[in-house]
């Protein structure tokens, strides 16, 4: 039973699985982003940004993600138009979760302590060094990197 559960957990933790439902242009946006194609050839897929690596947090996130299935079945987000109408609300939830975790998933790849500030542009240095000192969650400044940024109230 444990093996089956863990296999299902890992299967649902792939970009291919995510895009099998999230066909509402988020895959296209991701493929046009630097998280998909960049000079280094390193790709960050859906789970890299949206699913914690730590097991307990991962399971909790997967359970919470079942709400997407619920809303799809209810017909709340089952067409591109309905999806776009709910997108700002869904994005706010993702941003709030990322802020609450201190942008934990971002920092799996973008650790402040590994940044070479002197090789960044002047503007990046001016922003990133103070953010590093305060351990600012990445998502406070960086939204719209892998997906189109829906309107935000602030």
Could you report the per-residue pLDDT of 95-144, keeping only the tens digit for each? Answer: 999 999 999 999 999 999 999 999 999 999 999 999 999 999 999 999 88
Ramachandran quadrant class, 25 (left: phi over 0; alpha: psi -120 to 50; beta: rest): left
Q: Which residues are annotated as a binding site for a menaquinol?
A: 68
Residue 84 lies in a domain: yes
Residue 134 lies in a domain: yes
Residue 146 lies in a domain: no
Residue 106 lies in a domain: yes
Residue 154 lies in a domain: no
In terms of residue numbers, what domain contains 44? Answer: 2-140
Residue 20 lies in a domain: yes
Distance CA 109, CA 129 (A): 17
Q: Which residues are annotated as a binding site?
A: 18, 21, 24, 46, 49-50, 68, 106, 109-110, 138, 141-142, 147
State the pTM of this model: 0.80
Q: Which residues are annotated as a binding site for heme?
A: 18, 21, 24, 46, 49-50, 68, 106, 109-110, 138, 141-142, 147
Residue 7 lies in a domain: yes
Residue 147 lies in a domain: no
- CA-based torsion, 38, 43, 47, 52: positive or negative: negative
Structural domain count of the chain? 1
Angle between helices 55-74 and 2-11 (to 10 degrees): 70
**Over 70: is that where the pLDDT of 50 sits?**
yes
Phi, psi of 51, rounded to the nearest 5 degrees? -130, 125
């Amino acid at each position: 039973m444990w093996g089956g559960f863990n296999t299902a957990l890992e299967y649902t933790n792939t970009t291919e699985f995510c895009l099998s439902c999230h066909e509402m242009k988020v895959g296209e946006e991701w493929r046009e982003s630097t998280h998909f194609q960049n000079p280094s050839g390193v790709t960050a897929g859906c789970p890299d940004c949206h699913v914690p690596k730590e097991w307990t947090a991962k399971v909790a996130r997967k359970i919470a993600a079942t709400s997407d299935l619920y809303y799809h079945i209810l017909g709340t987000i089952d067409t591109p138009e309905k999806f776009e109408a709910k997108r700002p609300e869904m994005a706010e939830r993702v941003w709030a979760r990322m802020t609450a975790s201190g942008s934990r998933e971002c920092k799996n790849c973008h650790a402040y302590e590994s940044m070479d500030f002197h090789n960044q542009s002047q503007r990046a240095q001016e922003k990133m060094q103070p953010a590093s000192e305060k351990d600012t969650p990445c998502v406070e400044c960086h939204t719209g990197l892998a997906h189109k940024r829906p309107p935000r109230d602030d």
